[in-house]
Structure 1
Amino acid sequence: MMEPLEDAALCFPQFNTSCRKWSRPQTEALLIFSLQSAVALLTGVLNLLVIVSVSHFRQLHTSTNLLVLSLAVADFLVGSLQMPIEIILSQGCWLLSDFLCSVNFFLSYFLVSVSVGNLVLISVDRYVAVCEPMFYSTKVTVGRVQLCVCLCWLFSAVHSSWILRDFIQQQHSYDFCYGEQIVTITYAQVAVDFMVTFLGPFVVISCLYVRVFVVAVSQARAVRSHLAALRRSEAVKPKKSELKAARTLGVVVLVFLLCSAPYYFSSVSAEKSSTEATSTVIWLLYSNSCLNPVIYTFFYSWFRKAIKHIFTLQILQSESREAKLL
């Protein structure tokens, strides 16, 4: 009577060296599965709405929205590919082929790197738009943005391939049992990944947004001073815009830090420079892909109008591409 129960606890009962499944109470396992599935579904749907909106409506075909589209594509792939795989891994077993294992680890580094790269590009775009508005149209063209997006995806692919080059050559070298997939990289690779996909982008985004905030505050104060000189009531709108700029700045930087810091600090502080992290830390890292469309699109009225067109099926009309959303 005990053998069937023991076999049920193994990833591959037919192998004596099989790994064991993670044992959780049924209620807890169901709750975790439901929560993870909801986050994955929400991530895919939100980013798909962004992709459809920016791609379909002609008025949204701008250089800024091209960066938002690139970010949404990367985050959509995280929600539709990486998150479902993490749900499978929540049992503690890798049930797919070795090739898909290599693809999974590559995509995990690649998509996160692309997402972070797009966040940096968006911060640069907003910096130029606010701090150098006179030169924005000449400096930030559609062609240059397309080139930057392509370079971002290309650099992320090269970076991810370099990080995983040893794992691809020595797969299963560090597995303790059949059905386990561990990727181990050198401390130098961990340090480079930490600098390239966390610390460096965080410093750049923070500095640019602080500068944007300072300029926005100075502009708001200038408008208030001008209105006061004209003997008008003290302006309320500049104050609101000032608070909105501060709130947006805080949300962007804080969410990026909270979602990414636990994963990268756990990787750097590990005694054995291994990228194997707990499921909770990985899901927190991936959750940034769910929050990005909220931060970068829900604050815009054109996105709410686009969603209305999509859900009311107005998008199916022949002239829907020319709809006025701005």
Structure 2
Amino acid sequence: MILITGATGQLGGRVIETLLNYNIPAGQIAALVRDEAKAESLKVKGINLRIGNYDDVDALNIAMQGIEKVLLVSALEEGKIVQQHKNVIDAAKRAGVQCLAYTSHCLQNRETLHNPIMLTHYETEDYLMASGLKYIIFRNILYMDSMALYMLGRDYLDNGINLPAGDGRVAYALRCDQAEAIGHVLAAGDCSNRIYRFTGSRAYSFTDVAQSLSELTGKTVSYRPVSAETYRTNALNGGMPQKVVDLILPFMADIAGGQGSTVTNDMEEALGRPPIDLKAGLKQLLNL
């Protein structure tokens, strides 16, 4: 029995879809969900629902019963992330879970990170490795999907891309590709205390992003690196909430510092095909 946390999210949901496509019986898949009503589509497929969240230790203890393998999809609630992850890991250990997989982040150097949220991944990895559980760590590169969510800005076709990312490169991959790769590894049964670094096949700068967008749209899209302060001012004047700006800037600083530039073939091997590249991914994400 495999327990997928964050099962109603886009990553966890796609992992479940991949497991089913891999002919893992629905009866061997459990989903940890906060709200049963939001998981009706999983229930209809025969997925076993376990109700709980990362803060509820009692619910986690119940959810782990009969489970052999757990996928811990990383939490998002700032200030609580590491403790929530520890709660899941501890519950898995108490229940005798044989393998715990964790969705971490692919970064170059923990000592030079600007983004404190990224440090929570390393803290979780350390705790998991010391737990005595067999583990798999999926270090996922920054989602290419973030382009559509917040990176490019709403007016990139008219005003270009203006970000404090310097010439930093990232080996972006689509979230759906990363979820599919995770599903393949889980279905194959590997639990060899291994770290997978799931990246795209090439690292791209925002100059490359602008060139791809120009080719896709037929318009000239430029990239202009700006200072963090200029970005902050422009973003706030454009109506972006202060909290969102404060979250984005450390991501940009790490991109500028090359934290996302690692390239491996781990994901290609897991997928059995090359991951979708930047231009094809942008076309899909932006409906171009």
**Shorter-chain TM-score above 0.5:** no
Relative contact order, CA 8 A, sep 6+: which one is greater? Answer: 1
Q: Which has the higher helix share?
A: 1
Greater C-alpha Rg? 1
With structure 1 as the length reference, what TM-score do the two structures score? 0.21
Q: Which has the higher strand share?
A: 2
